[in-house]
Every structure is written in structure tokens, then in C-alpha cells.
Amino acid sequence: MSLFRKKERQMPGLNTSSLPDLIFTVLFFFMIVTHMRSVTVKVAFQTPQGTELTKLVKKSSTTYIFVGRPVRSGMQPADTFVVQVNDRLMSVGQLAEYLSAERSRMSPDDLEQMTVSLKADKNVPMGIINDVKQALRKANALKIHYSAVNKKNTN
């Protein structure tokens, strides 16, 4: 017989009191870091390249116009280009009406800052871009940003 008895040890329970704090911290991190896409792009476009680019500052009063070929090839013939404003596909003729309606819904502060961001495919004919610009003039949307990617110098 031994003088010392071995005690049978049990594993202590896992302390989960700090688990909700950890979960909320991770949740807040993803809420801050993640950018939610507000517009579903229905137009395929390849952005042109540029050298003197600046970032768009106030995005809350920005209307995005996409010009390019439709994503689904069954919708239109392959050689046609379509215009998408926010989530709607429309013709260039409807563009002025739509933007005028958008301007009437804006607050006076946002109306001063209203900007149109034109994201066009680099293969879109300049005639379509000119038609879009004429429609923007009719709608009195005169601040236009052309989207491009930074051109890498290969010297």
C-alpha cells in the first residue's frame, strides 16, 4: 500500500465569458473594412488607362453611368453598346429624363455636389459618349468624372 493516494483529476470547464466580446470585435472589424457594392453591374466594360488621375471625393451624391456591352450576350447583338444608370439599363434618350428626376429628388446641398461618374468601355465609339454627354447637358448634370485606371509606364 502506498502512503499517497492519486487523486483523479477532472478537466475544468472552458470559460466562455469573453467569447461574446471577441465575436462583436470581429463583427465590427468586418463592418468597417467591408465595402458593400450598391450597384449590380449589368454592363461589361474594360476601363481605359490614364496618367493624370484623381480620386472621387464625395461619393454620396454621385450617379454612376456604365457604358459597354451587355453582360448576357443573349440580350443584345454583340456589336451594340448599352447604358446602365444605377441598376437600370436604358437608352441614351431616356438618360436625360432619368437624371432630371434624380436631381429633383436631391436635397439642395447634394444638388450642388451632384457628380456623374462615367465608366465606359475603352472600345465604346466616341459617338455614344458624345450622345451621353449631350443627355447630361440636357439634364443639367455638368460635373462629369471619367473613370480610368492608372497607366503603368513601361520605359
pLDDT of residue 147: 77
Q: 13-17, 91-95, 106-110, 133-137 — which one is most confidently predicted on average?
A: 133-137
Note the pLDDT tens digit of each residue in 111-128. Answer: 777 888 888 888 888 888
Q: What are the DSSP calls for 4-61, one per residue?
A: SPPPPP-PPPP--TTHHHHHHHHHHHHHHH-----S---EE----EESS-------TT
Which helix (DSSP H) or strand (DSSP E) does residue 150 occupy? strand 149-150
Q: Please check whether residue 31 is in contact with residue 85, taking contact to mean a CB–CB distance below 8 angstroms.
A: no
Give this prediction's pTM. 0.62
Note the pLDDT tens digit of each residue in 59-97. Answer: 667 788 888 888 765 555 556 788 888 778 888 888 888
